[in-house]
Amino acid sequence: MKKIYFTFFILLNFLLFAQYTSNSLDRIYLNVEDLQFDQIKDVEIENFQFINPTLNFDYGVYIFQVKPFEFIPKKGAKQIKKISTYLKYALNGDKNLFSYDLFDREGKKYITNERGYINIYYHYDEQKRLKEKIRVVKNDTVNHSKYHFNEKNQLLTLSETAVEYDHQNKPNQFKNTKFPNSPYSTVLIYNKNKVRIEERESNEIIGFREFTYSKSNNLIKENYKSRTVFNSYNDKNQKIKSVEFNNKNLYSIENFEYNEMGDLTMHRFRFSGDIKNGTKAESRSHYKYDRWGNKIYVLTEGEINAITTEHFYEIEYY
């Protein structure tokens, strides 16, 4: 029995090494749910270079952005003027207007209205970069964000948060300028194809996040203390699978499907407990698009979700 196990372990490491040395690093973690957590190897790429990365504070913990911002909207066959979003709970419910977005003829969004009483206004600089975002709730301004970027379209400041860059144009620290003597700071540390983001109080590390990237700049591993997420991509750099471990135990598996135009058509979510028990419990989201590739419908249903939700998107064109 020991001989069989040893042979299997050697074969397993050979397969992992073969994956690692191939050109498919974006799929090296495709089937990690079949492995023990401690058997999953890290991917290290020598001489890896991040080219002008930046930070994005609009998405919470996902603050590291591997490429600079792109501010010029991509125009399709038809230019969008307005997108209205309707939400309906349960298949037999009534759909109600949830929000709408307005766009100018250049494709820049300038107003978002949510629930009828929340307005978000967007203002841009001469280079069409986002300059201000003002959130107003029932005629009271509750948040006023001001953005500044450098010539490489990397974020320099967002309101009272300032970003510092090293000599290779990589962000290495950000702090709150309102409290310059505060002991709290966030530091970015680079190691080959990894970025570690540490929250510090003086010299003590009080929290961290670590991201690992492939040669194609795809995020293939995310580490948040007790949580680790492994992502896999296809040849078009579209994420096709995410596997999450919590405290080294398998937690969930997500799968993604796309159409020939590259649009997401299906998202499936399954808990590890349901997988181990052999049940088919899962959450599924289905997406539909119009002939210009704009999303017009999302249906989320499944045994995991107690309530079926539908999103309808009505699009007006110039």
One digit per residue, the tens of pLDDT, for the chain of length 318 reads 544 444 444 444 444 444 444 457 999 999 999 999 999 999 999 999 999 999 998 876 678 999 999 988 776 668 999 999 999 998 778 999 999 999 999 999 999 999 999 999 999 999 999 999 999 999 898 899 999 999 999 999 999 999 999 999 999 999 999 888 889 999 999 999 999 999 999 889 999 999 999 999 999 999 998 999 999 999 999 999 999 999 999 999 999 999 999 999 999 999 887 666 667 688 999 999 999 999 999 999 987 767 899 999 999 999
Residue 113: predicted pLDDT: 98
Residue 139: predicted pLDDT: 87
DSSP 3-state of 202 = coil
Residue ranges of alpha helices (H) inside the chain are: 2-21, 272-276
DSSP 3-state of 199 = strand
Nearest to 245 by CA among 15, 39, 24, 17: 39
* Helices and strands counted in the chain (H then E): 2, 22
**How many C-beta atoms surround the C-beta of residue 285 within 10 A?**
19
Is this prediction's pTM over 0.95? no
Three-state SS annotation for 47-101: CCCCCCCEECHHHCCCCEECCCCCCCCCCCCCCEEEEEEEEEECCCCCCEEEEEE
CA distance 199 to 280: 40
Are 271 and 304 in contact, with CB atoms under 8 Å apart?
A: yes
CA distance 26 to 3: 33
